[in-house]
């Protein structure tokens, strides 16, 4: 099956800044994919390129089989939610439902009203007077009412309290469970990602470091703990993503290139999603010492 979202060598440069470099990803149908990376890594740029809000400097992107383009039929299939949740602040939710009905070829206003009714969000108040969590839910309901096939969300839950976040993700996961929807959601909250996402795209330094189903990625990595000693054998056989060397022991996050064969002094453990994300995000080598920097350490 062709992936719903695919890019090849996608690059975006703004004058002297390279926001995204040689990005190649693939997201299969029905996934809720977490787009993870430090600030400035290119997450928003990638989402905007996929939505057709920006054009690439080089490379290609394909969503639902075609390049993102200015065409109502294509635009109707994509839902995009920007971080600021731009809505017409002085208009009510009901107004927005009306606007959606007029501007979209496919529109299920009733589903939006039903969802928001379940969440007890009033439809007749100006959107600007709702709380952040309520506005996010309104925006999500409006985007889902378009019945898109692809949903691109740029840090939609960053400013929400834990309860509002939980509700938002539950609504999102339920919409995916209904069928026909693929989601990319950028976030830095590992707990949320672990719970709701089954696919991961990790960007760091404007490049793709990881892209795949979470299950597969976790099984491809191990944490190796052992006494401080020469690790060249391991480094030769596998890819060391991150190394944490203390006086007594060495902890390595490795990507396996084959079966793990080490001496008995090395203990191999499973990797959690948090280990993986922090390991790759912190794995920029420090040019002065040659040591790999660590962020947050490993468990």
Partner 1 sequence: MTWVIWRQYRVTTAIAVAILAAFAVVLLITGLQDATRWHNALASCGKTNTCGTLAQTVSLGSGPVNTLVVLTLIVPILFGMFGGGPAVARERETGTMQYAWTQSVTRWHWLSAKAGWLLLAGAVFGGLVAGIVTWWSGPVNALNQGQFQPGSFDVQGIVPIGYAVFAVALGIAAGALIGRSLPALAVTGGVFLALRLIVTYWVREHFMPAVTTVYSVTQNLSLNGATWTLAQGTVLPSGQFTTNLSVGPGHVVSGPTGPQVPAACQAATSINATITCMARLGYHSFATYQPGYRFWPFQFIETGTFVALAAALIAVTFLVVRRRDA
Partner 2 sequence: MIKFRVEGRSGVPPSQQIAQQVRQALRMGLLAVGDQLPSVREVVSATAVNPNTVLKAYRDLERQGLVEARAGHGTFVRGRPPGPPPGTHVRLGRAMAACVREARAAGLDDEAIESLLRVALQATAEEDIA
Spell out a b/e string for 98-113, using b for 16 or more CB atoms within 10 Å of the CB, else e.
eebeeebeebbbeebb
The two structure tokens encoding residue 159: 């400013």
Residues 145-164 that bind partner 1 (CB under 8 A): 146
Distance CA 41, CA 206 (A): 5
Phi (first) and psi of residue 35, to 5 degrees: -100, 110
Q: Does 82 bind partner 1 (CB under 8 A)?
A: yes
Smallest gap from residue 74 Cβ to partner 1 (A) = 9
Q: In this complex, which beta carbon is closest to partner 2, that of residue 21 or of residue 251?
A: 251
Site string for partner 1, 181-220 (x = CB under 8 A): ----------------------------------------
Q: Does 220 bind partner 2 (CB under 8 A)?
A: no
User: What is the β-pairing status of strands 249-255 and 150-154?
Assistant: unpaired
Distance CA 234, CA 254 (A): 9
Distance CA 286, CA 299 (A): 22
Smallest gap from residue 71 Cβ to partner 1 (A) = 7
Site string for partner 2, 15-44 (x = CB under 8 A): ---------------x-x------------
Smallest gap from residue 32 Cβ to partner 2 (A) = 6
Q: Which does 191 bind (CB under 5 to 8 A by kind): partner 2, partner 1, none?
A: partner 2
Q: Does 188 bind partner 2 (CB under 8 A)?
A: no
Distance CA 51, CA 132 (A): 24
Distance CA 158, CA 203 (A): 18
How many alpha carbons lie under 13 Å from residue 7 in its C-beta half-sphere?
Answer: 26
Footprint on this chain of partner 2 (rule: CB under 8 A): 30, 32, 166-167, 169-174, 176-178, 191-192, 194-198, 272
Residues in contact with partner 1 by the rule CB under 8 A: 48, 51, 53-55, 70-72, 75-76, 78-80, 82, 84, 86-89, 91, 95, 98-100, 102-105, 143, 146
């Amino acid at each position: 099956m062709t992936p719903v979202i695919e890019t090849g060598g996608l690059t975006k440069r703004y004058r002297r800044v390279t926001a995204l470099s040689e990005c190649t990803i693939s997201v299969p149908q029905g996934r809720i994919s977490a787009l993870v990376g430090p600030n400035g890594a290119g997450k928003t740029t990638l989402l905007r390129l996929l939505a057709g809000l920006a054009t690439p400097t080089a490379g290609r992107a394909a969503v639902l089989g075609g390049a993102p383009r200015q065409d109502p039929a294509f635009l109707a299939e994509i839902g995009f939610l920007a971080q600021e949740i731009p809505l017409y602040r002085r208009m009510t939710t009901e107004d927005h439902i009306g606007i959606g009905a007029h501007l979209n070829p496919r529109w299920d206003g009733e589903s939006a009203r039903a969802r928001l009714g379940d969440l007890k969000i009033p439809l007749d108040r100006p959107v600007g007077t709702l709380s952040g969590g309520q506005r996010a839910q309104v925006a999500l309901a409006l985007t889902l009412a378009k019945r898109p096939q692809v949903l691109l969300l740029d840090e939609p839950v960053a400013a929400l309290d834990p309860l509002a976040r939980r509700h938002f993700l539950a609504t999102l996961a339920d919409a995916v469970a209904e069928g026909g929807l693929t989601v990319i959601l950028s976030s830095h909250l590992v707990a949320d990602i672990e719970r709701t996402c089954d696919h991961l795209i990790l960007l760091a330094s404007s490049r793709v470091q990881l892209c795949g189903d979470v299950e597969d990625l976790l099984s491809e990595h191990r944490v190796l703990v052992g006494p401080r000693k020469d690790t060249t054998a391991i480094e030769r056989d596998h890819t060391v993503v991150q190394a944490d060397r203390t006086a007594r022991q060495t902890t390595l996050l490795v990507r396996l290139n084959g079966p793990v064969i080490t001496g008995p002094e090395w203990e191999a453990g499973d990797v959690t999603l948090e280990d993986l994300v922090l390991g790759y995000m912190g794995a920029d080598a420090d040019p002065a010492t040659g040591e790999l920097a660590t962020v947050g350490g490993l468990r």
